[in-house]
Chains A and B, each alone.
Chain A
């Protein structure tokens, strides 16, 4: 199982090194990887149907109870199949969609690592592992959303998505730590057995809040939903994969996974119903006011996620069943619609729904896929969408409180979703073909086969729901802690209240489709209310925050080295001085100090002279040279006290520092601004106090009895164990070799940093491209 998860990452690393040699010829190979994984997970279906749960565990950090524990049960199997199955289609689709793109390999690399992270997420049984994969999905989606990195809007929405989902990840980590504190384990399976104890724990409430924070941000629940429409700046395959089928469902997955652990209490259920309810209604209403196909789909995705959260919140076996079916329904129709939108965008170069119609004359198979998906999303028989909708209504009907309100809410949502599905899936393909689109080229089969396949699956599952009944749906319901033995999926439920509601939904929704035409006017109308939208409130808060941190930075980090040093020294003086007040007994044992020789006196005099010269000279160069003198005098002192190693190193370092200083000074302007009298006095006082404190501190340290144990150990063992007589060097390369290893790594990073800052400039071509895009963005802003 670990191999399955790592495949994605391995492939992604492989591409980094080989991508440039293949230049896009890897597309076929790339789509074989998710296909292989799909087959791998598919083979587990019989076992899972029989109620088996497959566990694998690999040690990672045993001392912290963190292992790579994986669990394959109904829930994770459903998600794994979705990730790999839709992944396969998206990979294949991309090979045609981004054909010849300069960075196609890079794109596949991101996509593959995303797939790996997502698989790890749904399979993890250990909460820390879960957290790691959770954040990995955020990071890889950041790369994918910002794939068009020359477009400022793309970059911005990638940042927003990363910010929101990343913060959610931190909530998850906090929740994991808290739950570990409560139960003593990170394993979710073990937590399952302790569900009672967790719910009666006094921190239960906080743990629930943390998990909600994670789930709501990831699954774009109100008021964190706004990153998702922004994320539509990504290429369409990404939108399909991340924002309809997989990543955004991670939050839903988390809620489902923790329902048996934390669920059942009022706070869990009520909150989920409220948040899910608001989200589904809010964003369903939004779909009316969008003209961008992707915008419509994004909002209807949020709405669907709201429905899922709502269903999980209802907390009954029926609701879980409805959620399980609806996940499949939504994945199938939404992925189809996104892929269809991608094709339209690719062929016609527009996604403005008001300008699209009659396209089925050009791309009939795409049209069929779109219309089938729209029917499924509308819940019209005989699609699986119909089954899903019936179950949802049924579950809402049996809710204990406020049933009427919930029913009204879900019906309105479904009506609006039907409208959105029709606009996205049917509108572009019916009616008259506008002149502007007459010359549109036909899309290739690799483009239209994936959506058509998904759309047909929606019908197949609808006609024969028993295919998914015991293999996929039942195990999910069981994994959520409900009894699944009575479940029976059927297309025809009989003529009852639910069916009447269905008829109303379809009737009103269809009427709505014919009455309201999406138009730019509507979109502008709603834009007037933007100032109270959560994203704008956040933006204002953001601006405030940036303003404050600008002030803060300018105050403390104003770019003058002298100020930094003054602040650091002042801080030390206050801190150390405060501790020393009242704690210093000045018990200096003068007898323990050795006699001063004439060499030492001379060296110290040179040292003092050097310091005074550094301070009072007018020339930078002279100051640097005098500093060098100070350093060399210290070398001499080291030599007196028989530390040749130190002296040698200090000597070399000192020389190099002086050289570096001279090199830098060479570039500074000639003009030297000397401090005025006041500043000099201030600095003088500050440094005198600092010197005094350090001297006292040093004497104080000497007066303390020193433990020689460590030193003795090194001295005694350096030859015996490390074959070296030079203890200093043995410590460096042997006893504390790992330290040195890390140190040289840090040094290397510093060198690379210097090199990068001074040398690497963007290539001329890239620079021009950046300039162009930001210029365009500016112009657009001006026009507005």
Chain B
């Protein structure tokens, strides 16, 4: 695929910015617009943009592993965050657990945040897997 120098240069800067932004969106989701789903989508857009500018192989090198591996990891994180109250406190499945102290940007951290991180990873994994697979089988 031919790409312009401008896009190539821009995407190199955009990738980290977008990723940071996606994580920002993910973390603030509990209090302000955002969350794991949107965050995951934004992150995957960042990678797709990078792949458009630099070619799929470069992006794959960047990712180290196949995005499909994000699926089980994300699912496991989400599931475990739901399971944690059952295991540690004998509460029903998916009961929210909360830390007592508030952390600066995040507010109080709870199991919901980990759940959201799981969603973030799964969404990212799903989008990248589908798009990479389709664009590879040209």
Contacts and interface: CB of A to CB of B under 8 A. Distances in A.
Interface of A: 644-645, 648-649, 652-653, 655-656, 659-660, 663-664, 666-667, 721-726, 728-730, 732-734, 737-738, 740-741, 744-745, 747-748, 750-752, 754-755, 758-759
A652 B41 contact: yes
B74 A754 contact: no
A632 to B, nearest CB: 14
Contacts of B93: 738
Given A652-B45, A733-B119, A737-B115, A754 B32 contact: no
B98 to A, nearest CB: 6
B35 A751 contact: no
Nearest to B94: A737
B32 A733 contact: no
Given A733-B112, A744-B122, A747-B122, 9 more contacts: A645-B34, A648-B34, A723-B107, A726-B29, A741-B82, A745-B75, A754-B133, A755-B68, A755-B130
Contact of B30 (A645, A726, A740, A751): A726
Contacts of B94: 734, 737-738, 741
6 contacts: A653-B41, A723-B30, A726-B32, A733-B116, A754-B133, A758-B137
B53 interface: no
SS class, residues of chain B in contact with chain A: helix
A751 B71 contact: yes
Nearest to A722: B96
B45 A645 contact: no
Nearest to B79: A741
A161 B108 CA distance: 58
A690 to B, nearest CB: 29
A741 B78 contact: yes
A656 B131 contact: yes
A758 B72 CA distance: 20
Chain B interface extent, by class: 35 or more
Given A729-B34, A755-B133, A737 B82 contact: yes
A374 B135 CA distance: 65
A660 B31 contact: no
A interface secondary structure, majority: helix
A723 B98 contact: yes
A732 B96 CA distance: 13
Q: Which 3 pairs from chain A and chain B are nearest by CB?
A: A652-B41, A724-B30, A751-B126
B71 A752 contact: yes
Nearest to B122: A744
Contacts of A666: 135, 138
B134 A758 contact: yes
B40 to A, nearest CB: 9
Contacts of B45: 652, 655-656
B119 A751 contact: no
B59 interface: no
A748 B119 contact: no
A748 B125 contact: yes
A755 B67 CA distance: 11
A733 B131 contact: no
Contact of A744 (B25, B29, B123): B123
B35 A729 contact: yes
A664 to B, nearest CB: 6
Contacts of A721: 96
Contacts of B136: 758-759
Nearest to B121: A744
A146 to B, nearest CB: 29
B112 A734 contact: yes
B36 A733 contact: yes
A29 to B, nearest CB: 29
Contacts of B112: 722-724, 730, 733-734, 737
A755 B69 CA distance: 12
Contacts of B108: 723
B123 to A, nearest CB: 7
Given A645-B38, A660-B134, A748 B30 contact: no
Contacts of B110: 722-723
A422 to B, nearest CB: 58
B135 to A, nearest CB: 5
A648 B33 contact: yes
Contacts of A755: 68, 129-130, 133
A755 B125 CA distance: 12
A751 B129 contact: yes
Nearest to B108: A723
A732 B82 contact: no
B56 to A, nearest CB: 11
B42 interface: yes
B44 interface: yes
Contacts of B125: 748, 751
